[in-house]
């Protein structure tokens, strides 16, 4: 089964974020970039599904600049078969990004299109279901596990208070969260092979970003806390403070 996985290049989650001088973007100096963590679960899901259905290709798609090639190579190293770089600008407007991806996916012959549930930079959690809506395909979000049988994907999704089992007819879009699809590490052989796998570049249609950043700010500092004491003997004082000062119990 052909599967397409949309991936995004984001700053490493360990990175200390500094606001750039323009006040509306982050300073890229010293930032290390990775494949967005949830996208890795999606790539893993694609590889396992491809292998289980025994034919078809797992193709990666990303909207980005030249540097995004490295993100695609990382996914190819895990075992994906091919990649497409849509050259265009990301923006804070998820719908603009979704339109660019949807235009590319419109005629794609892939019963399954996967996304990570959200990107670890803007945390907007919207592009997957937006693309599905633009394509007129059904979409299940927050899928921790799924398998494909009889033209359907049977998905386990986490919701508040439990797990839902949802069946969706293919072709469909799924957004993947942490669960069954622990991503494999790329082997050295995989990394070498990735260099020879097809990576196509195309221009994305011009995107009209209509959500704009006025400014970025740092989070408000929490006032300094204090160590109440050491060991169990500090507990009565802690409880007193929680009751009388913080009013939480």
- Show contacts with another protein in window 29-68 (CB under 8 A): 37-38
Q: Which listed range, 63-71, 77-85, 86-94, 187-195, lies at the site for another protein (CB under 8 A)? A: 86-94
Q: Work out the angle at residue 52's Cα, subtended by the Cα atoms of residues 47 and 54, and round it to the nearest 5 degrees.
A: 95
Out of 139, 176, 194, 207, the residue judged to bind another protein by CB under 8 A = 139
| Rounded Cα gap, residues 33 and 221, in angstroms | 27
Q: Please, which of residues 158-187 interact with another protein by CB under 8 A?
A: 158-169, 172, 178-179
Distance of CA 135 to the CA centre of its chain: 19
The residue within the footprint of another protein, chosen from 80, 98, 148, 207 (CB under 8 A), is 98
Residue whose CB is less far from another protein, 55 or 182:
182
In the list 1, 154, 193, 199, the residue contacting another protein (rule: CB under 8 A) is 154
Of these, 39, 44, 93, 104, which contacts another protein (CB under 8 A)? 93
- Residue 93: CB atoms within 10 A of its CB come to 18
Residue 107: CB partners within 8 Å, gap ≥ 6? Answer: none
**By CB under 8 A, residue 140 contacts another protein:** yes
Using CA atoms, how far apart are residues 181 and 178, in angstroms rounded to an integer?
7
């Amino acid at each position: 089964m052909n599967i397409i996985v949309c991936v995004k290049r984001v700053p490493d989650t360990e990175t200390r974020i500094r606001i750039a001088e323009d006040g509306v973007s982050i300073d890229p100096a010293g930032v290390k970039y990775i494949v967005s963590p949830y996208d890795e679960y999606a790539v893993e899901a694609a590889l396992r599904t491809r292998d289980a259905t025994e034919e078809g290709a797992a193709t990666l798609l990303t909207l980005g600049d030249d540097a995004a090639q490295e993100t695609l190579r990382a996914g190819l190293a895990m075992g994906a078969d091919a990649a497409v770089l849509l050259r265009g600008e990301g923006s804070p407007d998820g719908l603009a990004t979704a339109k660019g991806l949807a235009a590319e996916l419109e005629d794609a012959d892939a019963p399954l299109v996967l996304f990570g549930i959200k990107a670890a930079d803007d945390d907007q959690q919207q592009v997957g279901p937006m693309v599905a809506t633009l394509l007129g395909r059904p979409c299940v979000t927050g899928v921790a596990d799924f398998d494909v049988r009889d033209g359907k994907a049977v998905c386990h999704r986490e919701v508040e208070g439990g797990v839902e089992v949802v069946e969706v007819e293919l072709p469909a879009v799924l957004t993947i969260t942490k669960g069954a699809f622990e991503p494999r590490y790329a082997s050295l052989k995989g990394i070498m092979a990735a260099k020879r796998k097809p990576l196509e570049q195309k221009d994305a249609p011009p995107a009209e970003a209509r959500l704009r950043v006025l400014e970025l700010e740092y989070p408000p500092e929490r006032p300094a806390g204090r160590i109440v004491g050491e060991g169990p003997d500090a507990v009565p004082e802690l409880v007193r403070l929680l009751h009388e000062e913080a009013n939480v119990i």
